A = this chain, B = another copy of it.
Amino acid sequence: MVFPQTSDRRRPPLITALAGGTGAAKFLRGLTRVIQPDELTVIGNTGDDTRMWGLHVSPDLDTVTYALAGLLDDTKGWGIREESFRCLGAMAALGRETWFNLGDRDLATHLFRTECLRAGQSLTEVTERIRRALGVRSEVLPASDSPVRTRVLTPGGWLGFQEFFVREKAQVEVLDVDYAGAEKASPTPAVLNAIAAATAVIICPSNPITSIGPILAIPGISEALLSTPARVLAVSPIVGSAPVSGPAGKLMAAKGLPVSAMGVGLAYRAWLDVLVLDCRDGGLAPDLTRLGITPVITDTIMANREAEVTLARTVLEARE
């Protein structure tokens, strides 16, 4: 048996994933059991970022990082497992708003991030420091170092995404969604490079409007997806006519998209090569094909760790 020299080795496949929160986190956790974690670069949504108690909170970046670090609370789908909320209780006693559940261990991440940002570091630098400190071998990149903030227009006016999603539990009518700051934001060089140099780009099973939408709203990202030589694949977060989790349905409808895998295909049609959709939606395959998107039918429900791995493997196979 002859061992190849380092220089003879094929460059490992580089997978770049665009990611939101819970669904992406589970899918990426599965993916890093199929490929080497350091072959993965995650481009994370910052549209959910918010200030809470004076701290910069990046919920989606943290959910992905915690999942890849083996720390995610699987029951809640966010935050750190075996978390406590004692600071939150003390904040309530001080009369501060506590609808956003910041746990005691999770707080350290926000304190650290806020302190580093205040010292002049970029969100990219801080995110890198956090993922390394937590032992995550995949790169985690915020889509932009400039603020992009998803806002939801309700009959009562504009709400920040966390106000809509967590405080109001998404139980208000949605008239519109926009991404404040996106038009002035730019993707980081690392993000553009990760898309251009990838052997495959995967859009995780995330809300197309408020998880992937804020990334796509940054000038230059859609163009990069269009021009990358890599195959671009997406996993539909919609099964039948409802999202697997979260408020994606209501938000897609507000944006005039059908609440179905077809709506996901339409949102991404400009640059999407493959859409992985659930067995229950097999009937949509001909319509997707007509859009120029190759449908791949599989079980997309990640009910356990094994299902995360199986779905990841199916997506990887679909890139050939």
- Residues of B with C-beta under 8 A to A89: 105
Chain B minimum-CB-distance residue to A84: B86
Within 8 A of B (CB), among A59-110: 80, 84, 86-91, 93-96, 104-109
* CB contact between A86 and one of B55, B86, B115 (< 8 Å): that residue: B86
A118 at the interface (CB under 8 A from B): yes
The smallest C-beta distance from A132 to any residue of chain B, in angstroms, reads 9
Are B94's CB and A133's CB within 8 A?
yes
Closest B residue by C-beta to A98? B108
Q: Contacts A54-B118, A104-B104 hold; do A111 and B133 have CB atoms under 8 A apart?
A: no
CB distance from A89 to the nearest CB of B (A): 7
A108 to B107, CA, bound (A): 11
Residue pair B105, A86 in contact (C-beta under 8 Å): yes
Interface range, A side:
20 to 34
CB distance from A4 to the nearest CB of B (A): 37
Main secondary structure of the interface of A (DSSP, over half): helix
Complexed CA–CA distance, A105 and B55 (Å) = 17
B93 lies within 8 A of A134 (CB): yes
Whether A108 and B94, one on each chain, are in contact in the complex, defined by CB atoms closer than 8 angstroms, is: yes
With A86-B84, A104-B86, A104-B104: A94-B109 Cβ-Cβ less than 8 Å: yes
**Are A133's CB and B95's CB within 8 A?**
yes
B contact residues around A158 at 8 Å (CB): none
The contact string, 1 if C-beta is below 8 Å from chain B, for chain A 110-144, is: 01101100100000000001100110000000000
Give the residue of B88, B90, B112, B134 whose beta carbon is less than 8 angstroms from that of A96: B112
A112: nearest chain-B partner, CB-CB: B94
A90 proximity list for chain B (CB < 8 A): 80, 104-109
Which residues of B are found within 8 Å of A93, using beta-carbon distances?
108, 133-134
Q: Which residue of B lies closest to A93 (CB)?
A: B133
Instruction: Please list the residues of chain A having a beta carbon within 8 angstroms of any beta carbon in chain B.
Output: 53-55, 80, 84, 86-91, 93-96, 104-109, 111-112, 114-115, 118, 129-130, 133-134
Please name 8 pairs of A and B residues whose Cβ atoms are closer than 8 Å in the assembled complex, sorted by A.
A55-B111, A84-B86, A86-B86, A87-B105, A89-B105, A90-B108, A95-B133, A104-B107
